[in-house]
Structure 1
Amino acid sequence: MKSRPNTRCMFAGGNTPEGFVNYFGEILEYNTNRVFIIKGGPGVGKSTFMKKIGQDLLEKGYDLEYFYCSSDPYSLDAVAVPQLKVAIMDGTAPHVIDPSYPGAVEEIIYFGEYWDNEALIANKGHIMEYTNQIKGLFNTAYSQLKEAKVAYDEWKSYVQSCLNRAEYQRQADLFIGRVFKRFDALGKKSRARHYFACAITPSGIKDYADTLLKPGMDVYPIYGGPGSGAKELLMRIAHIAEWQGFFTERSHCPIEPDHLDMVIIPELNAALLNIWEPFRNTVPKGEGINLKEGIDLSLCIDEAKLGEEGRKALLDSRRRFLDLLNKAINNIAQAKVIHDQLESYYISAMDFEKIERIRQQIVQRMLKYENS
């Protein structure tokens, strides 16, 4: 038996103003041995299948990475086993995955072989109706997130107009110096891995950052909302780490998916993360972490420059952003309710005994890579 295993949780995909954005190609870092891609409809048992595989491997002492679904934060999209360099993932919409190296690396497991076609055909009308309703609710939610991003950008612009750039630069330079201490290039090619630690889900904002912080890790909080320069500072830190040759893990922001909300630099045993409402209100409580001196970028902002009307406009844009965000969450939650109803038709049509036998076989096949 190996030592106590570690589990890390994150999202491979997220609901954003740009629609569904995913990093499924980043689930395994490199030198992959095997990827099992599950194809099948809702309710065919994909998440349960992966959870059971994960439990078997945890009991054998393997560290695991769980990738949860942003449309259901308690359902899995994938499980990766870094020590074995294997993964199993859901390859159905909205994150359709096809093999890059069929048979050599990836293998498709089609759960459609284990359902009763006649039972599904008998419920064709309900299945089509629910599927279309779900699609419509997500389209509405993504439109609301796009509107929310407009209000967010307005909020951000008001804050930016109050930012003391000289003080911001001074504070940022001091902070970067505390993180890196030395600025020597390591002479090796850097790598980066991308995911979402935080996501917009039917249950609201869900953040798994606490599972990504290891005991003994130095954690640097960056306090600052839209327009404070927090995300720009995180990107600057990621670029410095890249220049030095460090591997980085980069968590993306659900509202600005091109920007970062957290950077982990394993070789420095350091994590830097943005703290701002409503996405991450406090520093995650990772067990045994070393909370280091962070940076509070609100100290570089002078809202008095806005005047009374400007402050009212800032608060109004923030209110509109939060209101639209909550409306989008409500629509995603409604889609989840209908998705659960849709799943019931597939659950009753499945032969789960055959699926369980396949699951046991896959666990044994994964274990063969232990010494590879």
Structure 2
Amino acid sequence: MSKGKIREMFPGGNTSQGFFSYYDYILRQEKAVKIFCIKGGPGVGKSTFMRKIGYEMLDMGYDVEFMHCSSDSNSLDGVVIPSINVALLDGTAPHVVDPKNPGAVDEIINLGDFWDEDGIRKNKEAILEANKEVGRTFRRAYRYLKSAYSIYQDNEEIVESCCVDKAKVNEVSEKLMKELFGDKGIASYEGKDRRLFASAITPKGLVNYLHTLINTDRAYILKGMPGTGTQRVLQKLKEAALERGFDVESFYCALNPNKIEHLIIPDLQISFTTSNLYHNVDIKDSIEINLDEYLFSSQLEKYREIIESNSANFDHLLDIVIKTISKAKKIHDLLENYYIPNMDFVSVQECFEDTLSRVLKYAREKES
């Protein structure tokens, strides 16, 4: 039996709007067979628990999606086995997840059932203070990030308002829609839009998993400086696909969670990715579309000094953001020292084995 394939992404992110969650899009309630909401404190083994389930299913030939944590990209916030519509999610702050349809769809697995409460309570004051400091540090990071985004927006506005030929960009959108959809008309139903992040601003810097996502038969790479219209092109294509009944996967910007950067239309085996200084992917036989070709060079030259200054200031602030998030992670890691010694990991392992057997039962039901 061949191993399954891995796709990796982020369900939430550290953005200019603070922590932003697309957790509701991980696995839709109406589609899900089972969603396990894993509860417990730092260091109790939630990520390891989910990762082990994921790799067990991979070894059995199932494709698996690993949902990474933006505040620690080595840690998992979720695992999805798409072919059987089963997911395990970290249900703790800042992305609190509770059952929406208890029993029918989702349920809680509380790893806190396996800790020594008395041992943890001895460190109550230290835990409270560490949690407060983590919160303060993240809020500081988000203020820096909001400031950085304001500078980024200034460059976007300069280019969009007077430096790019929007009519030419519209022609690109129109040509792509004809290539993708031809004469296919509006469907009697609308496709589903699944929203997530392919990249994140993490303690390790800018991290993306595009190489695990952009693997369709046909792939387009959109290039263009901020403001040239890559988002507008992708938004038009997404809306056209949904209107024609195609499900899509939309991956949003780590800085601005309302800005689409990558689009996959699985049924057409077509994907679009935005390539820039902060994220790119090497795709064999891809089709490149460079919107910088439609810039007015004379106008751009007029604002070049401002644009370059803005870019330098943005990068400086982004570096401060990353260092601040890294500091928050180090403080959060200290919290694990209060929990790990007070955990009954033998019981956690028994819970894992029971959960795995249930996941396998759902897999058998799907196959029968």
Normalised by the length of structure 2, the TM-score is 0.94
* Contact 1:220/1:272, CA 8 A, preserved across alignment: yes
- Determine the structure 2 residue equivalent to 1:327: 320
Report the counterpart of residue 43 of structure 1 in structure 2: 43
**SS at structure 2 position matched to 1:97:** coil
SS for the counterpart of 2:84 is coil
Q: Over residues 77-123 of structure 1, what are the superposed CA-to-partner deviations in whole Å (9 max), with x where a residue is unaligned? A: 00011122111110000000111111221111111111111221222
Q: In the alignment, what sits opposite 2:19?
A: 20
The corresponding residue for 2:102 is 102
Post-superposition Cα deviations, 1:5-52, rounded to whole Å, max 9, x if no partner, equal 111111110110111111111111442111111111111110011111
Q: Secondary structure at the match of 1:42?
A: coil
Instruction: Report the Cα distance in structure 2 between the residues aligned to 1:244 and 1:225, rounded to whole angstroms.
Output: 30
The more displaced of 40-49 and 117-126 is: 117-126
Q: Which residue of 2 aligns with 1:137?
A: 137
Is 1:297 aligned to 2:291, yes or no? yes
Secondary structure in structure 2 of the residue aligned to 1:348:
helix
Deviations 1:133-178 (A, max 9, x none): 1111100011111111110110111212211223222333334433
Shift of 1:54: 1.1
Residues 184 and 244, structure 2, Cα contact 8 Å, conserved in 1: yes
DSSP 3-state at the match of 2:190? coil
Between stretches 192-201 and 155-164, larger displacement belongs to 155-164
Contact 2:3 2:59 in 1 (8 A): no
Residues 1:369 and 2:359 aligned together: no
Give how far 1:186 is off: 4.0
Counting only pairs closer than 5 Å after superposition, residues 47-66 of structure 1 correspond to structure 2 as 47-66=47-66
Q: Tell me if the contact between 1:175 and 1:294 (Cα under 8 Å) persists in the aligned partners.
A: no
Question: Where in structure 2 are the equivalents of 1:1-372 lying within 5 Å?
Answer: 1=1, 3-29=2-28, 30-160=30-160, 161-214=162-215, 217-278=217-278, 280=279, 282-285=280-283, 290-291=285-286, 293-308=287-302, 310-370=303-363, 371-372=365-366
**Gaps in structure 1 of 5+ consecutive residues:** none
The 2-side partners of 1:222 and 1:176 are apart by 15
Alpha-carbon separation, structure 2, partners of 1:342 and 1:295 = 47
C-alpha contact (below 8 Å) 1:225/1:277 kept by paired residues: no
Question: Cα 1:343–1:233, aligned 2, differ >3 Å: closer, same or farther?
Answer: same
Amino acid at match of 2:6: T
What does the per-residue CA deviation read over 1:264-316, in whole Å, with 9 as the maximum and x for residues that have no partner? 001110000111112x1x3344xxx541x2210011112421455x2111111
| Secondary structure, counterpart of 1:83 in structure 2 | helix
3-state SS of the aligned residue for 1:167?
Answer: helix
Question: Any conservation in 2 of the 1:175–1:295 contact (CA below 8 Å)?
Answer: no
What is the alpha-carbon distance in structure 1 between the residues aligned to residue 81 and residue 49 of structure 2? Answer: 15
Residue identity opposite 2:271 in structure 1 = A
Identity %: 37
Look up the SS of the partner of 1:369 in the other structure: helix
CA gap of 1:9–1:307, structure 2 versus 1, over 3 A, is: closer
Give the secondary structure class of the aligned counterpart of 1:295: strand
Q: Which runs of 5 or more structure 2 residues have no equivalent in the other structure?
A: none
Query: C-alpha separation between the residues in 2 aligned to 1:179 and 1:319?
Result: 38
Task: Give the match's secondary structure for 2:56.
Answer: helix
Give the match's secondary structure for 1:31. coil
Q: CA shift at 1:4, angstroms?
A: 3.2
Q: Tell me by how many angstroms 1:182 deviates.
A: 4.1
Tell whether the 8 Å contact from 2:12 to 2:22 is kept in structure 1 after alignment. yes
- 1:95 partner SS: coil
How many Å apart are 1:56 and its aligned residue?
1.3
**Could you say what secondary structure the match of 1:249 adopts?**
strand
SS in 2 for 1:283: coil
